[in-house]
Structure 1
Amino acid sequence: MVIASWFLVHIMAIFGIFIAVAYPLWWLFAPKQAACFLCRAKVNEDWCPFCHKVVNKNEGVSPKSITSAVLNGFLILIFSIAFIGVVFGESQILFKLGFPPTPKTVSFIIPTKGQYRLGEIFPMKIEIAGIKTPINAVQADLGFESSKAEVVDISTEGSFANIFIQKEINNDGGYARLTGGLPNPGFFADKGLFGTVFFRGKSPGIVKIEFLPSSKVLANDSRGTEVLKDLASVSYLILPERISKEEDDMQKTIKLSSTVLGVSTGSTQMKFYQEGSVLGAKVGQEIKEEKRFNPLKSSLNILEIIDRFILEQYGKLFGLFKK
């Protein structure tokens, strides 16, 4: 019974308005095949307000006049609008439950190669690409070989984010973090710069720098959906040649402005963290996704697709239900 009711609601949500419009025409061409819903619902000798006659089911329950046919069509229309409302409410509940899931399309992109001398400070831009839906929060966690390189600083100059709540550097553990974001409507572009990490080579050899699985990119979809698809890594070559004393002195003069808790650091950026190196932990490298088939989630996904299809049709016809 429940399943039959569900099918009735969704079928009438799709076709009900068209049936309501066509019902009087159907009565004109095939009056005996049409039914007055009030006559059918009442018992013999009851009064039908649509037909303005006493119900006599022996004579049939078809509408007795064009007025009755129009009123029956109007009744179908009322129920159809109510069913559309049910479908819309159902879609909102499903949205709050996370259906449809926002697809994971975002990737961190970093320079794929580079070679630097011992003691040389070099930048590594943290850029984000593959943005298919606006994002509003990013946590970039980096792991690196602390014996080969160290983080000198993390810059937010030129970042699309304008609020930063965390900047952590732990050169002993080979870990760095930058966390920030921006308010509604979020950031939406082909790609964007989130920050720049400045490294210094400590010993010759290959140094691997990788984004850790604790990194996050959240969608501005009112649900905070994780949309990070994969994690990037890069290997840089640290040459055995050391930079000159003059070059090293020049590097030391390049310092980013210090930051104080809650103080604006520019016309658009706010930073809510205390400067300094703090402890961090390096973790594994893979983003794990649920692979097991879930019948409930699959059913809700199908239900959401049906609801979206119904609402999109009315959106195209009448400009309704636009987000």
Structure 2
Amino acid sequence: MGVKAQVLSSTADMEHKEWLESRKKGIGGSDAASIAGLNKWKSPMVVYMEKIGEAPNTEPTNEEAAYWGNVMEATVAQEFSRRTGLKVRKRNAILQHPEHEWMLANVDRLIVGKNEGLECKTASEYLKGEWDGEEIPGAYLLQCQHYMAVTGADAWWIAVLIGGNKFVYKKIDRDEELIAYLIDIEKEFWEGRVVKQEPPEIDGSEASSELLKALYPQSEPESETDLDSDTDKLIEGLQQVKEEMNDLNTRKKKYENQLKQILGTYEKGFSNHYVITYKSQERRTVDSKRLKAEKPDLYDEYSKVSSSRPLKFKEAK
């Protein structure tokens, strides 16, 4: 098939700030998973805000992990070569699909002598289950298929260092059906959202919640506005969800109480499939109300003020 990507720009001497600006010119491999809703760190709305240059400056929750991922990239690539015998080389460029100019790729490595590439990762010990057997996290699978779409590669390898002491590598074959899907959703996002500056619908991800907190940290005192009928539909939907959650919480409590009754004073019980524990434990807490009354100076010294904007609603009169 042959590598068919064009070079948008060289990254050999590119500063990080310039590299970030270049990412606004299209959709990269990690963006693909976010647009598809498979990246817990970044929602479609966050990607949209980044592309139009209006994303707030926020500290990413996985900044430390991202840092060590970059530091360990060369080590992971070297170990991959040692274990497989495959030689790899850097491609110091932002690559661009020749037909879909908004499809970009900044790949970790290319395999020498083959129409293949390599993605290097690090992962927490807590995520090792995601790499069992033939498993590959969905976000990374889409990222690699995106790179194959841009470069025309026949396959892409992914190598990951898990918990600092377990090394795994896997080969991902080119999937034309999945690539066609990616092209469709990325085209819709870029041409239908970014170019027209029509934001996607906000979702329920933690990334979207963090974005909203960064965009609107403070309310304007005594400010009011009139809302349309669509707002009523959102409130009605929220009320329905709250009622369903209350029902589920009641059922949850019922099952927990029934298990507690069965165990009685026993700390541990064994069923056919489970081990159940019901142990006594103590927790020490500070009586903040008493501390404030009896030691106000100490209370002020060790207390901190946090800012929030709780969302509440009630029936209008």
**Category of TM-score, reference length = shorter chain:** under 0.3
Question: Is the radius of gyration larger for structure 1 or structure 2?
Answer: 1
Greater helix content: 2
TM-score (norm. length: structure 1): 0.21
Greater strand content: 1
